[in-house]
Amino acid sequence: MTLHRSYTIFQWAALSALALTGSARATDMEGRGVHYFASNSGCPLPEVSMRAKMCNRIGLDDLATTAAVDTSSHQIHFNNARSYDKKTIVGDVLLQGSALDKAGRRVPVSVHLILSKSGDGWSVSSHAHTPVKGAFSAVRIDPYLVDVPAASGRRVLVSFEQATKLVSDPALATRLSSHLVQVRDNRGANTGDPDITIALGAAKVAKPVMRARLRSDPPSAGNAGGLLAHGTWSFELEALTGKIPDHVVQRELFLYGLSDQPLLKPLMKRGFAARDKLTIGAVHGQGYLRYGDQQQAFAGAGDAAAAFLQQSFIGLVLGNQLAAGDALAR
């Protein structure tokens, strides 16, 4: 879904002036990579100390893209002077927060904005990540707007009001989640380790695409922070189809700091085959990375798993199951 708001020339000029006067307070981000900034609206799994507050994210997909985050005026300014032959993702923004679900529980939510360019033109696709289905209210997300260069100054791609509507508007939530993504809880009547299957399509004809499991030894041992830092655990993704687009796999590995791992070069090149498994884990805090029947030591296992649990839709659902299990254990 592409969001767009028309502004008058006066409004464009005012916005450009704000961008210029606020630039001294902005944090500049450049270079292909993933950058974090603080969320004042809370983070999923706050006990994960490595991302206790710095969980808002900006991804820059190539060297031509830069961003500046002004935390005082709550503006994010993207720039990229390159012209692209075809529609190309150049960056993204993930804003983290929380909302009340239909049962009145406050749960973590996030808004994901993916910025693309085709030729010299900008576009954005936007969606919400929520751990449960249904309508949400009392949304708390830092009130950022995202803008890009325009002939008359700057153009707002997404306003704060538009971002929060992705979570709170039942019509949008239904279109983007309930009708497209199905989550199946594989734990049955038990409350064991988090275990879900993701399927795409309308409920009755949805096709399973991915199974995700978070195991711990002993099961559901401690909170997520202690578990990832010192425990014995594994986070496993199993492809249930060979039709997951390669570019989707490549970008996910990039976002979670795995794209440069030698073990995953085949995965970066050809994507998932059906029944391929990717596992990040640790034994008494000593991390490892496994793909297929190959395994290597991986010191960044806890950080990569924490990023996935906090920032991805699959991770939010698993984290919600983990938090529920910890609450029962207490």
- What the chain holds in terms of domains, given with CATH numbers, is 9-173 (no CATH), 181-329 (3.50.70)
**pTM, entire model:** 0.86
Q: What percent of the chain has pLDDT over 70?
A: 83
pLDDT digits (tens, 9 = 90+) for 188-236: 766 678 999 999 877 677 899 999 999 988 766 556 777 787 889 999 9
Largest CA distance in the chain: 61
What type of residue is 107?
V
Q: For residues 85 and 129, what is the distance between their CA atoms, to the nearest angstrom?
A: 31
More confident residue, 116 or 322: 116
Structure tokens of 102?
A: 């239909």
Rounded to whole angstroms, the Cα distance separating 197 from 17 reads 48
pLDDT at 222: 53
- Sign of the torsion angle spanned by Cα atoms 100, 103, 109, 113: negative
Spatial distance between the Cα atoms of 92 and 26, rounded to a whole number of angstroms: 18
Residue 5: which pLDDT band, with cuts at 50, 70 and 90? very low
Question: Is residue 328 scored above 50 in pLDDT?
Answer: no
